[in-house]
């Protein structure tokens, strides 16, 4: 046997040993550490997972197939699909979305911060910086161990008013309509204090030589701490809160301020933030 033939046989034998795991183990049962595919997947997962105290990286995937089984035909369907493609709700894109379920206050703030930072990815001045591990806790009921601490405290650190009072946030309590609008208006005021407001009977706005009222039949039921949210001007003399409510709930004459918000409502509310939208972010 010449040297060239001997070398070739050695190479072939080495290749067969590698395919068998080197110890008689088949490729199908080889350890995950030896699998290039698994190793590559693990690397991607590590690279895309947001580090604590950092802005979560958008998981933009416009071609992702959304397979929620309970959203077909509902008003919030497009909003849910668009935000799911952007990763606002995390990585889940199948199963049940539960669009008529309630939303804990902490989850709403997390979705709001994530959506905001995705929509304004290229505008650092509009990003909401997440709280870091050394941040003090403003709310006694949101300790640093709370998984949503970095989002809640991040909004507080940026000057947004989101608590039920100065020391409490009530993270697990279901979000109400007036709370959803007040927190969203605090974001749209760009961390400025919401205007002082008189009673609902004074909520009239000049528009085109006439007057447009925040004319919900139950506006007197809106809680006093949230009155200021309805005084935020949209730039044309009208209530921005009223504009957002009609975008979410349609041409309605009744608001039900203390009614709990659904997950579908929340998706529609967060579809547009400060004139940026999920649709334009996706290039639709």
DSSP notation for 150-203: HHHHHHHHTT---SSSSS---TTSBPBHHHHHHHHHHHHTTTSPPPP---GGG-
Instruction: Tell me if residue 223 falls in helix, strand or coil.
Output: coil
* Confidence at residue 235, expressed as pLDDT on a 0 to 100 scale: 61
- As separate numbers, helices (DSSP H) first and strands (DSSP E) second, the chain gives 9, 6
* Confidence at residue 19, expressed as pLDDT on a 0 to 100 scale: 38
**Calpha distance 38→32 (Å, rounded):** 6
**Calpha distance 104→140 (Å, rounded):** 17
Domain extent, residue 250, equals: 176-259
265: in domain: no
Residue appearing with tokens 């349609």: 250
* Confidence at residue 4, expressed as pLDDT on a 0 to 100 scale: 40
108: in domain: no
* Confidence at residue 273, expressed as pLDDT on a 0 to 100 scale: 93
Name the domain count of the chain.
1
* Confidence at residue 213, expressed as pLDDT on a 0 to 100 scale: 67
**Calpha distance 4→261 (Å, rounded):** 76
54: in domain: no
Nearest alpha-carbon partner for 230 in 207, 255, 210: 255
DSSP state of 141: T
111: in domain: no
225: in domain: yes
pLDDT tens track for 10-32: 333 444 334 344 333 333 333 33
Instruction: Tell me if residue 211 falls in helix, strand or coil.
Output: strand
Residues of the chain with pLDDT under 50: 1-58, 63
pTM: 0.75
167: in domain: no
161: in domain: no
- Is residue 107 a contact partner of residue 152, using CB atoms and an 8 Å limit? no
191: in domain: yes
Nearest alpha-carbon partner for 190 in 219, 232, 220: 232
């Amino acid at each position: 046997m010449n040297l060239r033939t001997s070398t070739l046989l050695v190479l072939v034998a080495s290749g067969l040993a590698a395919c068998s795991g080197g110890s008689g183990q088949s490729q199908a049962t080889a350890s995950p550490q030896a699998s290039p595919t698994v190793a590559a997947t693990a690397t991607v997962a590590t690279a895309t997972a947001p580090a604590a105290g950092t802005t979560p990286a958008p998981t933009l995937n416009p071609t992702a197939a959304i397979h929620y089984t309970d959203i077909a035909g509902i008003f919030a369907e497009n909003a849910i699909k668009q935000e799911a493609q952007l990763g606002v709700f995390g990585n889940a894109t199948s199963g049940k979305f539960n669009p008529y379920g309630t939303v804990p206050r902490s989850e709403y703030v997390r979705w709001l911060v994530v959506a905001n930072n995705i929509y304004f990815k290229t505008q650092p001045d509009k990003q909401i910086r997440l709280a870091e591990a050394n941040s003090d806790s403003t709310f006694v009921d949101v300790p640093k161990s709370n998984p949503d601490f970095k989002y809640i405290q991040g909004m507080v650190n940026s000057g947004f008013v989101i608590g039920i009072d100065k020391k409490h946030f009530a993270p697990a309590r279901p979000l109400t309509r007036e709370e959803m609008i007040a927190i969203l208006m605090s974001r749209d005021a760009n961390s400025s204090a919401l205007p002082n407001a008189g009673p609902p009977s004074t909520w009239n706005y000049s528009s085109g030589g006439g007057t447009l009222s925040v004319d919900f039949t139950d506006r007197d039921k809106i809680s006093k701490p949230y009155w200021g949210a309805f005084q935020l001007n949209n730039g044309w003399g009208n209530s921005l809160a009223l504009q957002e409510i009609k975008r979410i709930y349609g041409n309605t004459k009744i608001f039900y301020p203390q009614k709990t918000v659904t997950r579908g409502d929340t998706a529609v509310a967060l579809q547009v933030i400060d004139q940026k939208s999920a649709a334009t972010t996706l290039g639709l």
